[in-house]
Structure 1
Amino acid sequence: MRQLEEREFRDGRIAGPPSGRGRSVTVNLNESPLGWLKARGMISDAQYEAGERVRADYETASLGPCVTMRWDSGPRAPARGAAPDHVDPSHVRIAAKDRFDGAIAAAGPGLSDIVWRVICANETLPNAEKALGWPVRAGKLVLTLALDRIADFYGIR
Protein backbone atom coordinates (compact mmCIF):
# COMPACT_ATOMS: atom_id res chain seq x y z
CA MET A 1 0.00 0.00 0.00
CA ARG A 2 1.37 3.41 -0.96
CA GLN A 3 1.26 6.27 1.51
CA LEU A 4 2.30 9.39 -0.40
CA GLU A 5 3.21 12.65 1.29
CA GLU A 6 4.65 15.95 0.04
CA ARG A 7 7.96 16.92 1.66
CA GLU A 8 10.25 19.89 1.18
CA PHE A 9 13.67 19.32 -0.36
CA ARG A 10 16.30 21.72 0.98
CA ASP A 11 20.04 21.65 1.58
CA GLY A 12 20.33 18.32 -0.20
CA ARG A 13 17.93 16.43 2.06
CA ILE A 14 14.25 15.73 2.40
CA ALA A 15 12.80 17.81 5.22
CA GLY A 16 9.37 18.32 6.75
CA PRO A 17 6.13 19.57 5.22
CA PRO A 18 6.58 21.95 2.26
CA SER A 19 6.76 25.63 3.13
CA GLY A 20 6.03 26.78 -0.42
CA ARG A 21 9.39 28.52 -0.82
CA GLY A 22 11.49 25.73 -2.34
CA ARG A 23 11.29 22.45 -4.17
CA SER A 24 9.07 19.70 -2.91
CA VAL A 25 9.10 15.98 -3.58
CA THR A 26 6.50 13.27 -3.17
CA VAL A 27 7.68 10.55 -0.80
CA ASN A 28 6.16 7.10 -0.35
CA LEU A 29 6.44 6.57 3.40
CA ASN A 30 5.99 2.81 3.02
CA GLU A 31 8.67 2.20 0.41
CA SER A 32 11.49 1.40 2.84
CA PRO A 33 11.72 -1.35 5.44
CA LEU A 34 11.93 1.39 8.06
CA GLY A 35 8.69 2.94 6.78
CA TRP A 36 7.09 -0.50 6.82
CA LEU A 37 8.03 -0.93 10.49
CA LYS A 38 6.69 2.52 11.40
CA ALA A 39 3.43 1.99 9.53
CA ARG A 40 2.80 -1.11 11.66
CA GLY A 41 3.71 0.56 14.97
CA MET A 42 6.85 -1.51 15.48
CA ILE A 43 9.12 1.52 15.93
CA SER A 44 8.48 4.90 17.52
CA ASP A 45 8.45 8.28 15.80
CA ALA A 46 11.86 9.12 17.32
CA GLN A 47 13.35 5.85 16.06
CA TYR A 48 11.92 6.46 12.59
CA GLU A 49 13.29 10.02 12.52
CA ALA A 50 16.72 8.75 13.61
CA GLY A 51 16.69 6.15 10.86
CA GLU A 52 15.65 8.72 8.25
CA ARG A 53 18.48 11.04 9.33
CA VAL A 54 20.97 8.20 9.01
CA ARG A 55 19.64 7.40 5.54
CA ALA A 56 19.74 11.07 4.47
CA ASP A 57 23.31 11.45 5.73
CA TYR A 58 24.34 8.21 4.00
CA GLU A 59 22.81 9.27 0.70
CA THR A 60 24.19 12.81 0.90
CA ALA A 61 27.67 11.51 1.73
CA SER A 62 27.45 9.09 -1.21
CA LEU A 63 26.85 11.82 -3.80
CA GLY A 64 29.68 12.36 -6.21
CA PRO A 65 31.23 15.72 -6.90
CA CYS A 66 29.52 18.09 -9.31
CA VAL A 67 31.52 17.96 -12.54
CA THR A 68 29.34 20.08 -14.80
CA MET A 69 29.14 23.81 -15.28
CA ARG A 70 27.25 25.71 -12.61
CA TRP A 71 24.84 28.18 -14.16
CA ASP A 72 23.82 29.98 -11.01
CA SER A 73 24.95 33.55 -10.50
CA GLY A 74 28.60 34.23 -9.90
CA PRO A 75 29.97 34.98 -6.46
CA ARG A 76 29.31 38.41 -5.05
CA ALA A 77 31.64 40.24 -2.76
CA PRO A 78 30.14 39.76 0.70
CA ALA A 79 29.79 42.67 3.07
CA ARG A 80 32.57 42.92 5.56
CA GLY A 81 32.12 40.16 8.12
CA ALA A 82 29.07 38.66 6.37
CA ALA A 83 28.63 34.96 5.80
CA PRO A 84 28.82 33.62 2.24
CA ASP A 85 25.56 33.30 0.28
CA HIS A 86 25.77 29.55 -0.30
CA VAL A 87 27.32 26.44 1.16
CA ASP A 88 29.87 24.52 -0.86
CA PRO A 89 28.37 21.11 -1.82
CA SER A 90 31.60 19.32 -0.96
CA HIS A 91 31.36 20.66 2.60
CA VAL A 92 27.78 19.39 2.84
CA ARG A 93 28.93 15.92 1.76
CA ILE A 94 31.83 15.91 4.22
CA ALA A 95 29.57 17.02 7.09
CA ALA A 96 27.04 14.31 6.16
CA LYS A 97 29.81 11.69 6.12
CA ASP A 98 30.98 12.82 9.57
CA ARG A 99 27.41 12.64 10.94
CA PHE A 100 26.86 9.20 9.36
CA ASP A 101 30.12 7.87 10.81
CA GLY A 102 29.20 9.30 14.22
CA ALA A 103 25.72 7.75 14.11
CA ILE A 104 27.11 4.32 13.17
CA ALA A 105 29.71 4.59 15.93
CA ALA A 106 26.96 5.58 18.40
CA ALA A 107 24.97 2.48 17.43
CA GLY A 108 27.93 0.31 18.38
CA PRO A 109 29.89 -2.46 16.69
CA GLY A 110 27.31 -5.20 17.22
CA LEU A 111 24.34 -3.07 16.20
CA SER A 112 25.67 -1.11 13.23
CA ASP A 113 25.40 -4.11 10.85
CA ILE A 114 21.62 -4.28 11.06
CA VAL A 115 21.36 -0.47 10.81
CA TRP A 116 23.33 -0.40 7.58
CA ARG A 117 21.49 -3.35 6.04
CA VAL A 118 17.94 -2.22 6.85
CA ILE A 119 18.27 1.57 6.62
CA CYS A 120 20.98 2.17 4.04
CA ALA A 121 20.78 -0.96 1.87
CA ASN A 122 16.96 -1.28 2.22
CA GLU A 123 17.06 -4.97 3.10
CA THR A 124 14.01 -6.40 4.80
CA LEU A 125 14.44 -7.56 8.38
CA PRO A 126 14.10 -11.28 7.52
CA ASN A 127 16.75 -10.98 4.79
CA ALA A 128 19.11 -9.06 7.06
CA GLU A 129 18.64 -11.60 9.87
CA LYS A 130 19.39 -14.44 7.49
CA ALA A 131 22.47 -12.70 6.07
CA LEU A 132 23.82 -12.03 9.56
CA GLY A 133 23.03 -15.55 10.75
CA TRP A 134 20.68 -14.33 13.47
CA PRO A 135 17.57 -16.10 14.76
CA VAL A 136 14.18 -15.07 13.41
CA ARG A 137 12.77 -11.85 14.97
CA ALA A 138 16.10 -10.91 16.60
CA GLY A 139 16.66 -8.17 14.05
CA LYS A 140 13.75 -6.03 15.19
CA LEU A 141 14.98 -5.97 18.78
CA VAL A 142 18.55 -5.16 17.79
CA LEU A 143 17.42 -2.52 15.29
CA THR A 144 15.24 -0.74 17.87
CA LEU A 145 18.16 -0.69 20.35
CA ALA A 146 20.43 0.75 17.66
CA LEU A 147 17.84 3.34 16.62
CA ASP A 148 17.49 4.47 20.26
CA ARG A 149 21.24 5.04 20.43
CA ILE A 150 21.21 6.88 17.09
CA ALA A 151 18.29 9.04 18.26
CA ASP A 152 20.40 10.02 21.28
CA PHE A 153 23.31 10.84 18.94
CA TYR A 154 21.12 13.14 16.81
CA GLY A 155 19.41 14.61 19.90
CA ILE A 156 15.95 13.30 18.97
CA ARG A 157 13.46 12.71 21.77
Structure 2
Amino acid sequence: MVEDADREHAAALARFLRFLLAAGDVSFDGKRLLAADGRTETVSRDILADAVRLGLVTRAGSRLAANPEARAHLRRRLCTAETPFAAQHRDLAPVVVVHDGTRQTAMANRLESPLAALARLKEKTGEAWLPDGAIAAGERLHADFTRGGLQPRMTMSWEPRIATRQKGEAGAARELTDTALAARGRVAKAIEAIGPELSGVALDVCCFMKGLETVERERQWPARSAKLLLRAALMALARHYAPPVPPSRRMHAWGSEGFRPDLPR
Protein backbone atom coordinates (compact mmCIF):
# COMPACT_ATOMS: atom_id res chain seq x y z
CA MET A 1 0.00 0.00 0.00
CA VAL A 2 2.86 2.36 0.75
CA GLU A 3 4.36 1.73 -2.68
CA ASP A 4 0.99 2.43 -4.34
CA ALA A 5 0.71 5.72 -2.46
CA ASP A 6 4.23 6.69 -3.49
CA ARG A 7 3.47 5.93 -7.14
CA GLU A 8 0.27 7.99 -7.01
CA HIS A 9 2.15 10.87 -5.39
CA ALA A 10 4.88 10.73 -8.05
CA ALA A 11 2.30 10.61 -10.84
CA ALA A 12 0.43 13.62 -9.42
CA LEU A 13 3.70 15.55 -9.11
CA ALA A 14 4.53 14.72 -12.73
CA ARG A 15 1.11 15.96 -13.94
CA PHE A 16 1.60 19.17 -11.96
CA LEU A 17 5.06 19.77 -13.46
CA ARG A 18 3.89 19.04 -17.00
CA PHE A 19 1.09 21.58 -16.61
CA LEU A 20 3.49 24.25 -15.35
CA LEU A 21 6.03 23.61 -18.10
CA ALA A 22 3.35 23.81 -20.79
CA ALA A 23 1.54 26.84 -19.36
CA GLY A 24 4.52 28.91 -18.17
CA ASP A 25 3.45 31.42 -15.52
CA VAL A 26 0.51 30.05 -13.51
CA SER A 27 -1.63 31.44 -10.68
CA PHE A 28 -2.82 29.32 -7.74
CA ASP A 29 -5.98 30.09 -5.80
CA GLY A 30 -5.45 27.47 -3.12
CA LYS A 31 -7.01 24.57 -5.00
CA ARG A 32 -6.73 25.14 -8.74
CA LEU A 33 -4.00 26.19 -11.16
CA LEU A 34 -5.03 28.82 -13.70
CA ALA A 35 -2.96 29.33 -16.85
CA ALA A 36 -2.94 32.47 -18.98
CA ASP A 37 -4.83 30.71 -21.78
CA GLY A 38 -7.67 29.77 -19.43
CA ARG A 39 -6.72 26.16 -18.78
CA THR A 40 -7.11 24.91 -15.22
CA GLU A 41 -5.76 21.98 -13.22
CA THR A 42 -6.30 20.90 -9.64
CA VAL A 43 -3.37 20.24 -7.35
CA SER A 44 -3.16 19.38 -3.69
CA ARG A 45 -1.21 21.48 -1.22
CA ASP A 46 1.01 18.48 -0.42
CA ILE A 47 2.09 18.16 -4.06
CA LEU A 48 2.76 21.89 -4.29
CA ALA A 49 4.73 21.91 -1.05
CA ASP A 50 6.75 18.90 -2.18
CA ALA A 51 7.57 20.54 -5.52
CA VAL A 52 8.73 23.74 -3.79
CA ARG A 53 10.77 21.76 -1.26
CA LEU A 54 12.53 19.82 -4.03
CA GLY A 55 13.39 23.04 -5.85
CA LEU A 56 11.24 22.15 -8.86
CA VAL A 57 8.84 25.09 -8.54
CA THR A 58 9.22 28.69 -7.43
CA ARG A 59 6.29 30.33 -5.63
CA ALA A 60 5.85 34.05 -5.24
CA GLY A 61 2.52 34.69 -3.55
CA SER A 62 -0.12 33.20 -5.82
CA ARG A 63 2.20 32.93 -8.82
CA LEU A 64 3.93 29.65 -9.66
CA ALA A 65 6.72 28.98 -12.16
CA ALA A 66 8.59 25.79 -13.00
CA ASN A 67 12.36 25.76 -12.47
CA PRO A 68 14.77 24.16 -14.98
CA GLU A 69 15.09 21.22 -12.59
CA ALA A 70 11.46 20.34 -13.28
CA ARG A 71 12.17 19.28 -16.85
CA ALA A 72 15.10 17.13 -15.68
CA HIS A 73 12.86 15.55 -13.05
CA LEU A 74 10.31 14.54 -15.71
CA ARG A 75 13.04 13.11 -17.95
CA ARG A 76 14.29 10.95 -15.09
CA ARG A 77 10.75 9.72 -14.43
CA LEU A 78 10.36 8.66 -18.08
CA CYS A 79 13.69 6.81 -18.07
CA THR A 80 13.51 3.04 -17.74
CA ALA A 81 17.29 2.59 -17.31
CA GLU A 82 18.91 1.58 -14.04
CA THR A 83 20.73 4.92 -13.91
CA PRO A 84 18.04 7.56 -14.48
CA PHE A 85 20.31 10.50 -13.62
CA ALA A 86 22.66 9.54 -16.45
CA ALA A 87 19.84 8.49 -18.78
CA GLN A 88 18.17 11.91 -18.60
CA HIS A 89 21.08 13.31 -20.65
CA ARG A 90 20.81 10.67 -23.37
CA ASP A 91 18.82 10.41 -26.55
CA LEU A 92 19.22 6.77 -27.55
CA ALA A 93 18.29 5.62 -31.03
CA PRO A 94 19.04 2.44 -33.02
CA VAL A 95 21.78 2.72 -35.63
CA VAL A 96 23.31 0.26 -38.09
CA VAL A 97 27.06 -0.30 -37.74
CA VAL A 98 29.48 -2.51 -39.64
CA HIS A 99 31.54 -4.82 -37.41
CA ASP A 100 33.90 -7.41 -38.87
CA GLY A 101 32.23 -7.07 -42.23
CA THR A 102 28.69 -7.64 -40.94
CA ARG A 103 25.94 -5.08 -40.41
CA GLN A 104 24.62 -4.97 -36.84
CA THR A 105 22.09 -2.84 -35.00
CA ALA A 106 23.34 -0.92 -31.97
CA MET A 107 22.05 1.83 -29.69
CA ALA A 108 23.74 5.21 -30.00
CA ASN A 109 23.36 8.39 -27.97
CA ARG A 110 22.47 11.05 -30.51
CA LEU A 111 23.37 13.82 -28.07
CA GLU A 112 27.01 12.68 -28.18
CA SER A 113 27.19 13.16 -31.93
CA PRO A 114 28.85 16.44 -32.95
CA LEU A 115 26.31 16.68 -35.77
CA ALA A 116 23.20 16.05 -33.65
CA ALA A 117 22.01 19.66 -33.84
CA LEU A 118 22.65 19.91 -37.59
CA ALA A 119 20.85 16.63 -38.23
CA ARG A 120 17.60 18.23 -37.01
CA LEU A 121 17.75 21.17 -39.44
CA LYS A 122 15.20 21.20 -42.24
CA GLU A 123 14.99 22.86 -45.64
CA LYS A 124 12.01 25.01 -46.56
CA THR A 125 10.61 22.00 -48.40
CA GLY A 126 10.72 19.94 -45.19
CA GLU A 127 13.64 17.79 -46.29
CA ALA A 128 16.69 17.34 -44.10
CA TRP A 129 19.32 20.05 -44.54
CA LEU A 130 22.04 17.40 -44.27
CA PRO A 131 21.40 14.03 -45.95
CA ASP A 132 21.75 10.87 -43.90
CA GLY A 133 24.85 9.96 -45.87
CA ALA A 134 26.58 13.22 -44.90
CA ILE A 135 25.72 12.74 -41.22
CA ALA A 136 26.99 9.16 -41.31
CA ALA A 137 30.20 10.31 -43.01
CA GLY A 138 30.88 12.90 -40.31
CA GLU A 139 30.27 10.37 -37.53
CA ARG A 140 32.52 7.85 -39.28
CA LEU A 141 35.31 10.41 -39.44
CA HIS A 142 34.84 11.14 -35.74
CA ALA A 143 34.95 7.42 -34.92
CA ASP A 144 38.19 6.89 -36.86
CA PHE A 145 39.70 10.01 -35.31
CA THR A 146 38.93 8.70 -31.82
CA ARG A 147 39.93 5.12 -32.62
CA GLY A 148 43.26 6.34 -33.95
CA GLY A 149 44.09 8.08 -30.68
CA LEU A 150 44.23 11.51 -32.30
CA GLN A 151 42.21 13.26 -29.61
CA PRO A 152 44.35 15.71 -27.61
CA ARG A 153 45.17 14.72 -24.03
CA MET A 154 42.97 16.65 -21.59
CA THR A 155 44.65 15.52 -18.34
CA MET A 156 48.18 15.38 -17.01
CA SER A 157 50.30 12.44 -18.11
CA TRP A 158 51.90 10.53 -15.23
CA GLU A 159 53.97 8.30 -17.49
CA PRO A 160 57.75 8.41 -16.89
CA ARG A 161 59.77 10.48 -19.32
CA ILE A 162 62.76 8.10 -19.29
CA ALA A 163 63.28 6.74 -22.78
CA THR A 164 63.29 2.94 -22.93
CA ARG A 165 63.42 2.25 -26.67
CA GLN A 166 66.57 0.96 -28.22
CA LYS A 167 68.51 2.61 -31.00
CA GLY A 168 66.86 2.11 -34.34
CA GLU A 169 63.42 1.28 -32.90
CA ALA A 170 60.28 3.11 -33.96
CA GLY A 171 59.03 5.96 -31.82
CA ALA A 172 55.50 6.42 -30.53
CA ALA A 173 54.07 4.48 -33.47
CA ARG A 174 55.35 1.20 -32.02
CA GLU A 175 52.89 1.53 -29.12
CA LEU A 176 49.88 1.86 -31.42
CA THR A 177 47.77 -1.15 -32.25
CA ASP A 178 47.04 -2.21 -35.80
CA THR A 179 43.49 -0.93 -35.35
CA ALA A 180 44.70 2.54 -34.36
CA LEU A 181 47.18 2.69 -37.22
CA ALA A 182 44.49 1.65 -39.71
CA ALA A 183 42.14 4.30 -38.31
CA ARG A 184 44.82 6.98 -38.72
CA GLY A 185 45.32 5.91 -42.30
CA ARG A 186 41.59 6.23 -42.99
CA VAL A 187 41.53 9.70 -41.44
CA ALA A 188 44.45 10.80 -43.62
CA LYS A 189 42.71 9.53 -46.76
CA ALA A 190 39.45 11.22 -45.75
CA ILE A 191 41.18 14.56 -45.19
CA GLU A 192 42.88 14.26 -48.56
CA ALA A 193 39.55 13.51 -50.23
CA ILE A 194 37.85 16.54 -48.63
CA GLY A 195 40.63 18.86 -49.76
CA PRO A 196 42.67 21.50 -47.93
CA GLU A 197 40.01 24.19 -48.29
CA LEU A 198 37.27 22.27 -46.45
CA SER A 199 39.09 19.74 -44.28
CA GLY A 200 39.70 22.25 -41.47
CA VAL A 201 36.03 22.87 -40.69
CA ALA A 202 35.29 19.13 -40.89
CA LEU A 203 38.03 18.37 -38.36
CA ASP A 204 36.94 21.19 -36.05
CA VAL A 205 33.29 20.15 -35.92
CA CYS A 206 33.37 16.37 -36.37
CA CYS A 207 36.61 15.53 -34.53
CA PHE A 208 37.32 18.34 -32.07
CA MET A 209 33.55 18.86 -31.55
CA LYS A 210 33.64 22.64 -31.79
CA GLY A 211 30.49 24.66 -32.37
CA LEU A 212 29.96 26.50 -35.62
CA GLU A 213 30.13 29.88 -33.89
CA THR A 214 33.45 28.91 -32.31
CA VAL A 215 34.85 27.89 -35.69
CA GLU A 216 33.77 31.19 -37.25
CA ARG A 217 35.30 33.18 -34.41
CA GLU A 218 38.60 31.32 -34.44
CA ARG A 219 38.94 31.45 -38.22
CA GLN A 220 37.50 34.98 -38.50
CA TRP A 221 34.84 33.86 -40.94
CA PRO A 222 31.54 35.66 -41.61
CA ALA A 223 28.48 34.58 -39.67
CA ARG A 224 26.77 31.38 -40.87
CA SER A 225 29.62 30.65 -43.30
CA ALA A 226 30.89 27.63 -41.33
CA LYS A 227 27.50 25.97 -41.71
CA LEU A 228 27.66 26.09 -45.51
CA LEU A 229 31.31 25.07 -45.70
CA LEU A 230 30.70 22.16 -43.35
CA ARG A 231 27.87 20.94 -45.55
CA ALA A 232 30.14 21.02 -48.61
CA ALA A 233 32.86 19.19 -46.68
CA LEU A 234 30.51 16.46 -45.48
CA MET A 235 29.06 15.96 -48.95
CA ALA A 236 32.58 15.47 -50.31
CA LEU A 237 33.36 13.10 -47.43
CA ALA A 238 30.20 11.09 -48.13
CA ARG A 239 31.29 10.66 -51.77
CA HIS A 240 34.69 9.48 -50.53
CA TYR A 241 33.19 6.80 -48.28
CA ALA A 242 30.51 5.77 -50.78
CA PRO A 243 31.63 6.70 -54.31
CA PRO A 244 28.76 6.97 -56.80
CA VAL A 245 28.49 4.11 -59.24
CA PRO A 246 29.66 5.30 -62.68
CA PRO A 247 27.08 4.88 -65.43
CA SER A 248 27.66 1.80 -67.56
CA ARG A 249 28.88 2.49 -71.07
CA ARG A 250 26.83 1.06 -73.89
CA MET A 251 28.70 -0.72 -76.66
CA HIS A 252 27.87 0.42 -80.19
CA ALA A 253 28.70 -1.38 -83.41
CA TRP A 254 28.47 0.29 -86.76
CA GLY A 255 27.98 -1.58 -90.02
CA SER A 256 27.22 -0.80 -93.60
CA GLU A 257 23.89 -1.49 -95.26
CA GLY A 258 23.06 -5.18 -95.22
CA PHE A 259 25.45 -5.92 -92.33
CA ARG A 260 24.44 -8.88 -90.18
CA PRO A 261 26.28 -9.64 -86.94
CA ASP A 262 27.50 -13.17 -86.24
CA LEU A 263 25.30 -14.65 -83.55
CA PRO A 264 26.38 -17.61 -81.47
CA ARG A 265 24.58 -20.83 -82.28
The aligned runs of 1:39-78 (5 Å cut-off) are 39-40=120-121, 41-62=128-149
CA contact (8 A) 2:92 2:110 kept: yes
Structure 2: runs of 5 or more not aligned: 1-88, 122-127, 151-175, 245-265
Query: What is the alpha-carbon distance in structure 1 between the residues aligned to residue 96 and residue 194 of structure 2?
Result: 28
Shift of 1:90: 1.6
Question: Match for residue 28 of structure 1?
Answer: 109
Question: Match for residue 118 of structure 2?
Answer: 37
Equivalent in 120, 126, 134 of residue 213 of structure 2: 126
Question: Match for residue 189 of structure 2?
Answer: 102
Distance verdict in 2 for CA 1:10–1:148, change over 3 Å: closer
Shift of 1:27: 2.6
- State which drifts further: 35-44 or 127-136: 35-44
Distance verdict in 2 for CA 1:50–1:9, change over 3 Å: closer
Structure 1: runs of 5 or more not aligned: 19-25, 64-88
Q: Which has the bigger relative contact order, CA under 8 A and spacing at least 6?
A: 1
Query: What is the alpha-carbon distance in structure 1 between the residues aligned to residue 131 and residue 98 of structure 2?
Result: 25
TM-score (norm 1): 0.68
What RMSD, in angstroms, separates the aligned Cα atoms of the two structures?
2.8
Q: Which segments of structure 1 move beyond 6 Å, counting only runs of 4 or more?
A: none
Question: Match for residue 154 of structure 1?
Answer: 241
Q: Which amino acid aligns with 2:92?
A: L
Shift of 1:131: 0.9
TM-score (norm 2): 0.42
Query: What is the alpha-carbon distance in structure 1 between the residues aligned to residue 90 and residue 112 of structure 2?
Result: 8
Larger gyration radius, structure 1 or structure 2:
2
Query: What is the alpha-carbon distance in structure 2 between the residues aligned to residue 150 and residue 10 of structure 1?
Result: 18
Question: Match for residue 80 of structure 1?
Answer: none
Query: What is the alpha-carbon distance in structure 2 between the residues aligned to residue 118 and residue 32 of structure 1?
Result: 10
Q: Matched residue pairs, number?
A: 124
